[in-house]
Amino acid sequence: MFYITTAIDYTNGSPHIGHAYEKVLTDVISRYRRLRGDEVFFLTGVDQHGQKVQQVAEKEGVHPATFVKRTTKKFTNLWEKLDVKYDGWAETVDDRHKACVCAILTELKDQGQLYKKSYSGFYSVRQEQFLQDRDRDESGNFGPEWGEVVEIEEENWYFKLSDHTDWLKNFLETHPDIIIPGFRRAELLNALERNSGLDLCISRPKERLRWGIEFPFDSDYVTYVWFDALINYVSFAGYKAAEGSGLPDFSKIWPAGERAVHVIGKDILIPAHGVYWYCMLHAMGFSDESMPRLLVHGFWNGLRGEKMSKSLGNIVDPSELADKFGVEAVRYYLMRDIVTGRDSDFDLDRLVMLYNTELANELGNLCNR
């Protein structure tokens, strides 16, 4: 079985060209493996919990469940339009996923991997994470990438991440092909050197955040959104699933000794997938031979290399693009004009030129001869 996943998309907004690129890339890889005769399971989906979702829903005056249901539809509609053929669909509000998260939390607690302690310091609302002095810039301030930063003091549950970082460092050093492209593995190893010895806060008190998966052994807390979201890769593959759940047989989707492939953006390699997820899997008893391979892609930027943003007016809507040029033109350009793992500048003129010269003139003429 070739098991491949995308990152699940956060449902606090609409899908953009970056979301579309990742899904089309994974779809193309899946189709290629099927053409080779491989059995494939392709999982994608949405991440529906967290503080940002709760805040946007409150701003719109609706319940978070209503908001994410509406936003999720935007993603499923786009994947249908772009002809993305997935086998499994993940939604983190699904009761089957919640049951898996709770089972893993209980197991880790029973193993002594979780503990409770108080924290006093700074918290990034945008990134939904606690900050350390290492997160400050050279001037001693927290940079704009953190958004609103507030001071808080609260008690939370922690995962003993530090128990697994020595293993992770050795694993990365002895498995040079585990992260593609290779320079991303080097970046991850450098990050580990700088940030070893820290544990991961995996809860949020309900007095601050109610929209999440309640802790099975402490009803005053919900699960940190990243800890919840990462588990989708196993929960929707049937890990710890109840009989009759309608989920796949995990032993067939992710057999012991075989690697899944996670296709992710460079922004969620460190620390989410490269540190948190590997260490979580290690704590859950996954062997080195079963650790997933990470295919890390770059970003589509604006025409002159600037980041796409609403303020610059250079946001590309993939749905509008498909309506104007056709689905195959968009899919072809997204695969043709970027090197996997690197960034590229989105150029509408090149899309038209490549469509006309390579698809219409060259391939089209060949097929008509």
What is residue 295's predicted lDDT score, i.e. its pLDDT?
99
Dmax of the chain from CA atoms? 73
* Closest CA relative to residue 22, chosen from 265, 211, 186: 265
In the 8-state DSSP scheme, what is residue 161? G
Contact indicator for 167, 174 with CB cutoff of 8 Å: no
Alpha-carbon distances of 263 from 92, 181, 269, rounded to whole Å: 18, 12, 10
Pairing of strands 214-215, 218-223: antiparallel
Amino acid, res. 206: K
Quote the CA–CA distance of 11 and 232 in Å, as a whole number. 15
Q: What is the pLDDT at residue 55?
A: 92
Q: Output the pLDDT for position 97.
A: 99
C-beta atoms surrounding 362 within 10 Å: 11
Token pair recorded at residue 241: 């699933």
**What pLDDT score was predicted for residue 29?**
99
Consecutive 10-residue runs of the chain (369 residues): their mean pLDDT?
98 93 99 98 98 93 97 98 98 98 99 94 82 81 86 94 97 98 96 85 94 98 97 99 97 96 97 97 98 98 77 82 96 96 95 92 81
Residue with tokens 């919900």: 222
Q: Where are the alpha helices (DSSP H) in 131-275?
A: 165-174, 182-195, 225-230, 232-235, 250-253
Beta pairing, strands 40-47 & 200-201: unpaired
Residue 136's pLDDT is what? 87
Burial class (CB in 10 A: 0-12, 13-18, 19+), 316: middle
* Domains detected in the chain: 2-103+225-363 (3.40.50.620), 110-218 (2.170.220.10)
Using CA atoms, how far residue 317 sits from 16, 246, 286, 313, in Å, is 6, 34, 39, 11
Question: What local confidence, expressed as pLDDT, does residue 272 receive?
Answer: 96
Q: Which strands form 149-159's sheet, in the order they lie side by side?
A: 129-131, 114-124, 149-159, 200-201
pLDDT at 309: 67
According to the model, what pLDDT value does residue 175 have? 98
Distance CA 130, CA 200 (A): 9
3 — phi, psi (to 5°)?
A: -100, 120
Could you tell me if 179 and 191 are in contact, meaning their C-beta atoms sit under 8 angstroms apart? no
DSSP state of 362: I
Residue 102 CA: distances (Å) to CA of 21, 27, 249: 32, 31, 19
Angle, nearest 10°, between helix axes 64-81 and 17-35?
A: 50
Calpha distance 178→338 (Å, rounded): 22
Distances 3 to 28, 272, 309, 327 between C-alpha atoms, Å = 14, 20, 33, 25
Q: Give pLDDT, residue 143.
A: 87
Which 8-state DSSP code applies to residue 152? E
